[in-house]
Every structure is written in C-alpha cells, then in structure tokens.
Structure 1
Amino acid sequence: MLLITLNRPNANAIECSTSQELYEAFLSFEEDAELRVAILTGSGQRFFSAGWDLKAAADGEAIDADHGPGGFAGLTEYFSRTKPVIAAVNGMAVGGGFELALACDLIVAAEHAKFFLPEVQIGITPDSGGVFRLPRRVPHAIAMELMLTGRSLVAPEAEQWGLVNRVVAADRLLEEAWELAERICAGAPLAQRAIKELVGGGEALDVEDAFRLQRSGALPHYSRMLKSMDAQEGANAFAEGRPPVWKGY
C-alpha cells in the first residue's frame, strides 16, 4: 500500500507542476507490482485541497493550462489506471480538490470534511471531471444544485447520498483508510483490475450491451483474469478450507 500526501501549505492548492508531480506518483504506483492500493490525503486538518491555485492563476497560469498526462491533479484524466485509489479527505475539498476526490475509487471522510464546487461563483465551470462524475455519484438534482449554487456538502450529507464510503473522527481518518485498503488487498488483484475495467467500460451502456462488451474479448484485464492461476486458486482454496494465496497471474 502507498500513502500519497498533498502538502502545499496553507490550502494544498494545485497548479501545473503539482499536477505533474502527482501524476508521476500515481504512475509509479501503477507500475509497481508490489503495490496494490494507494491512499491520497492532504496535509493538516483544514484542507484536503482547495483545488486550482488561484495565486498561480493571478500570476499568469492559464485556465486551460497543460496539467500533464493525468489532467488536473494528476488523476482526473488518468483513465488507464487499473489499481484502486482511496481518498482520505481530511478537511475541505474545494473545486478541483472535490474533483480530485471524485476521481478516486473510494472516499473516507473526516467528520468535519466539506465538499463543494464553487466555480460558478468565480465565472468558470467544474470541468476537471466534476460535471461528469458528480451526477453519476449522487442524484441528478443534488448534483445540479451543488454545481449551480456552489453550496457545500458536509460529510454526513455526503454519506447520506452515497458519495463517501465512511465518515469517521479526524483522528481515525488514516486508520480507517488503511483498514479499507487492507480489506482490498485481501482480494485477488487480477479480479480487482477486471472489476475496474468492467465498471469503466460498462458504465455508459445498458445491461445488454455491457454483457456484449464483457463477452467480446475486448477487455484485456477481464480476459487475463479468466485464464489466470488465481481464478483456479480461489476455487481450490475454498474446496480445501484455507485462505487463498494470490499470485497475480
């Protein structure tokens, strides 16, 4: 497991160079065969991330500046990754900070965490994934309200709408994230990559077309999982009454 901490006092705001550094961290995680799960958090307890660094913008960084191959924050457009990332939201997730959390697979939030997309109040849109991901994660009307008004979503309400997996006391945030990561690591790695591939590929399809995609042979991680030793190991371990030993092949 890998812990990635965004540490840019005082608000963990993100500009181009930070986006590129984060992408390199996520890329290294993806390419390291020994690492199964990454946890992303912010330093301090006030901000997970304030999003786009408006000071950098005032100094001339363009609104459409190149943030690198992973998009804003190194993750919002990193579509080819195959391993799960948990956001441990330790405070306010504002604008691009909220979009960064949405780009993760799971979210654990501190009790005092808040999520909001205030872009409309400064004349722009949440176009680092917020407009696409938020309506898929919460009811349409709630997503539209949050984006059109910029109001904040407190952690208990975020949990109510199914946006976050856990809400915990601030002093237990990383402990809870690690426990969730350990539970993920107990599963078969190839099966988990196949799940991410199937979910991503089938998300925009109806169920019938999603099954066609699954059976098409066009999903390499799913096909690899079906033919893997791990797929047989699961059945063997069950029959023998022992925990499975995953090999990743």
Structure 2
Amino acid sequence: MSAPGLRVERDEKTGVVVLTLDRPSRHNAIDLDTAAQLTASWREFRYDDSVRAIVLTGSGDRAFCTGIDRGAEVPQPPSPYSIDDPLLAIGPKANDLWKPVIAAVNGMACGGAFYLLGEAEFLVADERATFFDPHTTYGMVSAYESIAMAQRMPFGEVARMSLLGTAERMSAARAHAIGLVSEVVPDGGALAAAVECARTVAGYPPGAVEGTVRAVWAAKEAARTQALAHAPHLVALGNLPPEQQAGLFGGRGGEFRLR
C-alpha cells in the first residue's frame, strides 16, 4: 500500500515489512496525507497474518523524520478544552498494533518524530543520527514528545533535550549511552541492521512475540496513560499564538514545525 509520502516494501518470505517515510525534499516531515497513510498502514498490519515484524525508517541520508510539515493546516475546534493533533494516531501502539516495530534512524530525528520513535520497540541508529526537540525554541510546549521520551530516557536527559530546544542535538553515541538507542552502526547501515533484527524476531512464533511486546509495554502503561491525559491542557496553555510562532521561525524551512 505504497503512496506518495510513504513507501511500503514487503518480504513475503520472512514476513518483514519496511515502512519508509518518503518525503526527502522535506526532510521526511509529515503532512496530513502521510499521517493518514501511517494510521492506515498500522491498522492494515493488525489484520495481516503475513506481517510479523516492521522496520520504520526515513528516505535519504539527512533525516529520519522532522515532525509535522510546517505547511500542514490543521483546523482546530473552538472549544478551549479540545485540540486536534494529527500526529496522535501515527504510531503503531496508538492503533493497537502489538507486532514488533524497529526504528532505523538514518539522520535527524526531532520534534514530532518522537511520536513514532516513542512507539517502536527499539531503535538502531547510524553514527550520524541526531536527536533534538525544538518546541521551546519556537514558543511551543513539548508535551507528547517529552512524555514519549520519558518512557525511554533518564529524567534529566529528557529535561535537557526538551528544554534546550535547538541549542543542542543529542548524538547517536550519547543516545546509545543513555539507552535511547540500542545499537549504533556505521553511516548507511541502520536499515540493514534493523532488518536483520526484524528477520530474527519474525522467525519466532508470532503469539509469543506479540505477547512479549504487550507485556513489555504493560510495565509502563499506567504512568504513560496518566501523563498523556495532561498533555492537551499543557499545550493549550503554553503554546504561543501561531503568528508569534511563525515569527520565531523567521521564515526558515518547514521541516521543524510541530503543531
């Protein structure tokens, strides 16, 4: 089910699917069509017994994903108690998919990319990969992203990354040292390394694999659910108006707009 913005490649023999964000000219920023395609893909995989493991990556060699595209226009309800976030449903767990997902991070991963990375089982990264969260720099609250990373990183590291914004980028080596990334490989090797892991896992009985995935997530589910319940209100209260956010962007490229 490949479409502009998202490429799907299946290996019928092994049961491994490679899902590639395919907008390299936009640093694989996610527009609304791509967001819808991601949701549809995860839901399709739920019902397809031939899919046993998924590798998620980005096209090109500059970025894994840089969040939502600045050009995306997201209508908002008039109620101050409601916020429509098009990225909330782009991850596998948000779509009740408990087949293993391995992320191959091949460059920049920032902002809204953490909606995806936060719902992968583990990450493999090229040496050139970097991780950062630009929200505060541009007058926006890092809520969903910080909550996702708090499930995978030490508290101080999450706070440092989310508060320093664009002033600091975490290297792949540092991400590995703190446990965010499970393996760092030479540049250009993340996809192959992730696929090799996926093939191994896909060769095991699927019931045992999916049950194990579910058990691992159950260990932190309560805290994550409680934290996410606060996110919409924090975003609504803390975000600058869109016109002021745009002023902080200074008219630069669209790949770092997150909401």
Q: Shared fold (TM-score greater than 0.5)?
A: yes
Matched, 1:22 2:38: yes
Please identify which structure carries the higher helix content.
1
Match of 2:6 in 1: none
Instruction: Provide the rounded CA distance (Å) in 1 between the counterparts of 2:221 and 2:18.
Output: 31
Worse-superposed segment, 83-92 or 26-35: 26-35
* Per-residue deviation, residues 191-235 of structure 1 (Å, max 9, x unmatched): 1211122222232569xxxxxxxxxxxxxxxxxxxxxxxxxxxxx
CA contact (8 A) 1:16 1:65 kept: no
Q: Letter of the aligned partner of 1:114 in structure 2?
A: T
Match of 2:138 in 1: 122
Deviation at 1:9? 2.9
**Of the candidates 203, 207, 220, which is equivalent to residue 203 of structure 1?**
220
Bigger relative CO (Cα 8 Å, ≥ 6 apart): 2
What is the correspondence of 1:2-13 to structure 2 with a 5 Å cutoff? 2-10=17-25, 11-13=27-29
Matched, 1:61 2:74: yes
CA contact (8 A) 1:110 1:173 kept: yes
Deviation at 1:96? 0.5
- Report the RMSD for the aligned CA atoms in angstroms: 2.1
Deviation at 1:118? 0.8
Deviation at 1:55? 2.3
**Of the candidates 171, 181, 187, which is equivalent to residue 164 of structure 1?**
181
Instruction: Provide the rounded CA distance (Å) in 1 between the counterparts of 2:186 and 2:105.
Output: 11
Match of 1:96 in 2: 112
Match of 2:91 in 1: 75
Q: Percent identity?
A: 32
Match of 2:148 in 1: 133
* Per-residue deviation, residues 122-155 of structure 1 (Å, max 9, x unmatched): 111233x322121221111111111111221110
User: Which ranges of structure 1 fall in alignment gaps of 5 or more residues?
Assistant: 207-249
SS in 2 for 1:146: helix
Match of 2:8 in 1: none
SS in 1 for 2:162: helix
Over 3 Å counting, the alpha-carbon distance change for 1:85 and 1:117 in structure 2 is same
Moved over 3 A (4+): 62-66
CA contact (8 A) 2:176 2:184 kept: yes
What is the count of residue pairs matched by the alignment? 199
Q: Letter of the aligned partner of 2:47 in structure 1?
A: E
Q: Letter of the aligned partner of 2:140 in structure 1?
A: I
Deviation at 1:103? 1.8
TM-score (norm 2): 0.71
Match of 2:51 in 1: 35
**Of the candidates 186, 190, 198, which is equivalent to residue 203 of structure 2?**
186
